[in-house]
Amino acid sequence: MSHRVEGICSVEHCTDRTRCVLSKDQRSCKCAIGFYDDRCDKNAHIKVMCSKDYIAIRAIEDFFKYHNVLLESLHLPNKSCRAQRTVIKGVPYYMSRISRDQYLSCGGKPLEKNVTHISYSLSLMSDPQVSGNIIRDPVIKMDFTCIYPYVRRVSLSFPVIPFSSEMVMRVDELDATIQMMLYKDHTYTKAYTSAPTIELRDKVFVEVTVTEPADFFLLRVNECWATQFAEPHTKEGSVHNLIVDGCVSDQTVSFLNATDGQSGHNGESSTVRYSFDMFRFTASPHDLYLHCTVQLCEPDDHKSCAVNCNSISKREAMRADPSQGLLSYGPIRIEMPNRPQSSILTTVVLPVAGVWTVGFFLIILITVAKAGSRRLAQMEEH
């Protein structure tokens, strides 16, 4: 996001380089993005909001009044898309907000797409204030961009198996990359590099983390569930919930500390780790796909990421917020060992056969013994 205001500030008061920028000849200065006034000591609190449903930009009313910009002169490239005045927590703002469907009709620039992202770029600008045949007050232009993950469906003649899941979320003006991976044990040092094959009841170790910017945002896992098919919201096949509203739904799920592998919590750092016992669905296919919805919170906003699981009534429902996203991972294969039936023969059939064999020889010995006794008795009689 950038904005341009034609005009200068007071050079003698331009001492803070983070708020004002001097010209090369040191004779003029301009306020840095987000600041205004002769001393550049006032913050306009410019904020860009990129929701799944709308795109918006706002700044405090005083910023526009300082530059003699009237509300009715503010608009997007298409002048029919005007700004509005709104009051938030007692502070008046001028804001332009449109749905993503209105983007092109309001004069948005051609969409920019690459393999992973799609960008929406707009400008909020003011009409020049004409007095006679001159213009004295500056014209304001704020260029802003919303970047969204670009999701495409591709059909191939062979399967593509991802062994990590990654997405980009935008919070205010900052992009964040979140990754979900499975690890081989509780140390979280060796991630699976091929499709995981895990035995029933073995621990599955999951990590969801903000990889960029590292250790900045707080991360909360809101929901996690397993499906039989890759589509997270498919109505086909079975579904099993692991985490609901940030709380444990499956009794084998445990949150782990991101540093020492001990018991941990959800929503307290930029990494969430948890484990669960491997299972399979009763009906085939037996492969699992794991899906998690995540929420990002700014570092000073611990309350939004806090989870209270003391009772169902106190659980916070997942809110529709621009800083939420979905990660999917799979397939996770179940190891179904083909144990030979000889083990059963060894433990059951062979002992029984042995008993019958021993019994058979005992019967022969008894018969032979009785026959011998009869012969001896007959010889003694003679």
My answer on whether 267 and 314 are in the same domain is yes
Average pLDDT over residues 129-150: 78
Task: Tell me the pLDDT tens digit for each residue of 158-194.
Answer: 443 346 677 767 665 567 788 899 999 999 988 887 7
Q: In the predicted model, is pLDDT for residue 314 greater than 80?
A: no
Task: Tell me the pLDDT tens digit for each residue of 28-55.
Answer: 788 888 888 888 888 999 998 887 778 9
Average pLDDT over residues 244-261: 88
My answer on whether 116 and 75 are in the same domain is yes
> The CATH number of the domain where 259 resides is what?
2.60.40.4100
My answer on whether 90 and 183 are in the same domain is no
Q: In the predicted model, is pLDDT for residue 308 greater than 50?
A: yes
Q: In the predicted model, is pLDDT for residue 211 greater than 90?
A: no
At residue 309, the pLDDT reads: 87
Nearest to 205 by CA among 144, 149, 271: 271
Gyration radius of the chain over CA positions: 35
At residue 240, the pLDDT reads: 94
pLDDT band at 202 (very low <50, low <70, confident <90, very high): very high
My answer on whether 52 and 105 are in the same domain is yes
Residue 366 lies in a domain: no
Residue 158 lies in a domain: no
- The DSSP 8-state label assigned to residue 315 in this structure reads P
All residues at 6 or more sequence positions from 372 whose CB lies less than 8 Å from its CB, including other chains: none
Greatest CA span in the chain, whole angstroms?
A: 160
User: Nearest-5° angle of CA 237, CA 200, CA 312?
Assistant: 65
pLDDT band at 62 (very low <50, low <70, confident <90, very high): very high
Q: What is the percent of the chain with per-residue pLDDT over 90, rounded to a whole number?
A: 27
Residue 297 lies in a domain: yes
Full domain range(s) for residue 23: 2-149
Least confident of 152-156, 227-231, 368-372: 152-156
Rounded CA-CA distance 365/86 in Å is 107
Q: In the predicted model, is pLDDT for residue 221 greater than 80?
A: yes
My answer on whether 126 and 197 are in the same domain is no
Average pLDDT over residues 123-141: 80
Average pLDDT over residues 61-68: 90
All residues at 6 or more sequence positions from 136 whose CB lies less than 8 Å from its CB, including other chains: 129
Query: Do the strands 117-126 and 84-88 form a parallel or antiparallel pair, or are they unpaired?
Result: unpaired
Least confident of 23-32, 145-154, 233-242, 306-315: 145-154
Q: Please give the structure tokens belonging to residue 255.
A: 């949150």
Rounded CA-CA distance 157/382 in Å is 97
How many separate domains does the chain show? Answer: 2
Average pLDDT over residues 275-299: 88
Rounded CA-CA distance 181/328 in Å is 10
More confident residue, 169 or 87: 87
Nearest to 5 by CA among 73, 67, 94: 67
My answer on whether 127 and 176 are in the same domain is no
pLDDT band at 352 (very low <50, low <70, confident <90, very high): very low
At residue 150, the pLDDT reads: 56
Would the pTM count as exceeding 0.75? no
List Cα–Cα distances, 96 to 103, 104, 106, 124, 178, in angstroms. Answer: 12, 15, 11, 8, 29
Residue 69 lies in a domain: yes
My answer on whether 273 and 331 are in the same domain is yes
My answer on whether 36 and 136 are in the same domain is yes
My answer on whether 65 and 12 are in the same domain is yes
At residue 173, the pLDDT reads: 55
**Mean of the per-residue pLDDT values of the chain:** 78
> For residue 343, which phi and psi values (nearest 5 degrees)?
-65, -35
Burial of 235 (0-12, 13-18, 19+ CB in 10 A): exposed
My answer on whether 62 and 208 are in the same domain is no
> The CATH number of the domain where 22 resides is what?
2.60.40.3210
Task: Provide the 3-class DSSP secondary structure of residue 64.
Answer: helix
My answer on whether 15 and 122 are in the same domain is yes
My answer on whether 35 and 93 are in the same domain is yes
Residue 354 lies in a domain: no
Residues 69/140, Cβ–Cβ less than 8 Å: yes
Chain centroid to CA 123: 30
